[in-house]
Structure 1
Amino acid sequence: MYKPTLDYAQQLDKEDNLSHLRAQFYIPKDTKGNDWLYFTGNSLGLQPKQTQQYIQQELDDWAKYGVEGHFEARNPWMPYHEFLTNSMAKIVGAKPLEVVVMNTLTTNLHLLMVSFYQPTKTKYKIVIESDAFPSDRYAVQSQLEFHGFDAEEGLIAWKPREGEELLRIEDLEKIVDEQGDEIALLLIGGVNYYTGQYLDIKRIAEIGHAKNCMVGIDLAHGAGNISPELHDSGVDFAAWCTYKYLNSGPGSLAGLFVHEKHAHNKELPRFAGWWNHNKETRFNMRQPFDVMPGAEGWQLSNPPILSMAAIRASLDMFEEVGMPALRAKSEKLTGYFEYLINQIDTDRIKIITPSNPKERGCQLSIQVQNADKSLHQKLTENNIITDWREPDVIRCAPVPMYNSFEDVYRMVEILKTLL
């Protein structure tokens, strides 16, 4: 049983096998040199200290070799994206054939929908969560309009029930059962950005496929946070960013998954560029397009090496500790956080994230009645970096790689005084 004391939090940190990872990150500090209480890994992860070294290696090789760095660099640039594949595949539970790092998240979603959103006059609708991240909503609306459909009519929102914040899988099942003949695609966030709810990805795939709908997953708030087991889930495709829980830096490249069942289907419509052409004949030029198998067959251009170097620096840390250990600590961190929040003697606070740690990412969304953004500003003034979502929710993500149990304890103590 948890205890609401500083000594207890510090004891949990002493018993934590991953506590050494914190020292491998730069923790922002206040004007007095004290560490911030940083709870926004769900927006931008902190910088690993080894990132600079990884990027510097590529800068040095660029200076030393110029264009020959594509072949002569310590980490040759031509196949550089391949250096990331195995580690990224482990993080999302995929086969290496199914994963590639490229572009940015919404760009990848559009490229994937070129292939997997093939509407007809009667089967054209798209299902998303009612409170999906806005970029996803804009993307699917624009896809509907691009294909000549009315975005309002073609978009189906999977909503929580009246008076509830969380989605129920049986409600999605009902939507697809009743309207599946008109639905071409389900595009669902694996972890909802607002509530932190971790949805049953495999069940979503089963529901969609039962009515011959394609199923895609946005893992922006899932990759490096949960273990989505994408291959076993059976979803057709997925995409995610790397700058949140994967700690790769602002605006860094994204990841993409295409299930093995589509790997060798050259008939799938797709946009083409020289980097998804057969790598064996890519430089022969003037040849008909010959698409590569697997996820690499969705690439268009050669990769930006400096961004990939930052991703590699982070992925090497994930490779060292593994997702099972990180996930176990995450569940314990949010469990302790939830316990402390529930100890606050007030009826103004409500956690809208699922109480079952297995059904949430490493995030708690704390709803505060009669609050406005001034509460968030006061937290910031106390060097607590959280994320505010209108109208009254503080999103907090204790990240297992660098957040401590003491961080959680101190944050809740300050929140108490502010309330």
Structure 2
Amino acid sequence: MLQRAFHKYIDNFRGFSREIWILALITFINRAGTMVLPFLSKYLKEDLGFTYSEVGWIMVSFGCGSMVGSWLGGKLSDKIGFYKIMIFSLLVSGIGFFVLQTITTYHGLLLAIFLIMAVADMFRPAMFVSLGAYAKPENRTRALTLVRLAVNLGFAAGPAMAGLLIMNVGYKGLFWVDGTSCILAILIFWWQVKEKKKSIYTDKEHPSEVLTHSVFKDVPFWIFLFGTLITGILFFQLFTTLPLYHKEQFNLSEFQSGLLLTLNGLLIFFLEMPIVTYIEKHKINKLKILAYGCVGMAGSFYILLWNGWAGFLVIMMLFMTFGEMLAFPFSNSFAMSRAPIGHEGRYMAIFTMSFSMAHILSAKTGMEIIATYGYQGNWFFMGTLGFIGVLLFYWVIKLVKKEPPRYLSTTKEVK
């Protein structure tokens, strides 16, 4: 019985090209070493002594840099190719993390974090475009899921190790690990993966397909982006307000906070690929899955309204994780499916910018609500915002159903 279940689980990972596995490997190395982000708000508040408002503005700077980087990464991927952008981004940002630990002033950190994130997040749209080049069309959602599994497996290992590192070495050690992982990941990518200008999997019948509509006139895509923005705002609470809440409400250590994030990563590693394969196999409407995911994420914050028992933190994480497993793989897939061939970069740039904007709004909004109304006020606001996101996704479903056949040909993955 167990052997059959194991083989069935392994079958979910078959059919990927060698390059996709290398992308997953370097993503894992990079994310396992990404130890600064989960504890950045705690580092700024507890180690450097900044106020809630100052922490919020530095996180805004983080998000603004991420937005600029996402836009640049997508635009340059279409112009000079994703390969060069990926190498430049991880190499330079790795060096940047080494330098960041020496900057401790408020204004210095505002500028430094903006610049580092502008370079670091050029990687994300370029990586999404690379999946389009190295994965067969029928495997792209699963390829996105595989890379997300690598991200979450990295996060499963990273935060707990980061918590131990903080307790034994201090926050400075995080910057060394973060920078080293960026440089190591991109050296492996450069060594093992060769640049590919064109995908061998592009549509042979329409090799010269051009952009026949503007991304700015794609109304369902923009409503979808607002829904995605909301799921991002909810998700980033895990790295901005929740670590502070763990400490102030329940006196959890960094290691214990890291273990909660590890639970998130492990559940995604074991369950997300089978869930995605099942949904793909049974051709369930992907936009409905996004709506269900948003319900789970919204519900996780309502659970936090009960604050008398630390066990609710685990229950909250379970709801958040299952919501995340439903929302994120198919949001990536839907965004890619809207893009005409050769213009994936601009669509994925705008898509990743929505997460950057989410980081800005999540941090600043959460910190300001907490400062004025307390943590409970923030959890109620986030839960209610999540259900607004559910309504937006159902609105997109109605709009996509009304689209003419010509346009539906570019969105065949979400029917």
TM-score bin, normalised by smaller chain: under 0.3
The alignment's TM-score, normalised by the length of structure 1, stands at: 0.26
Ranked by relative contact order (alpha carbons within 8 Å, sequence separation 6 or more), the top structure is 2
Rg comparison, structure with higher value: 1
The alignment's TM-score, normalised by the length of structure 2, stands at: 0.26
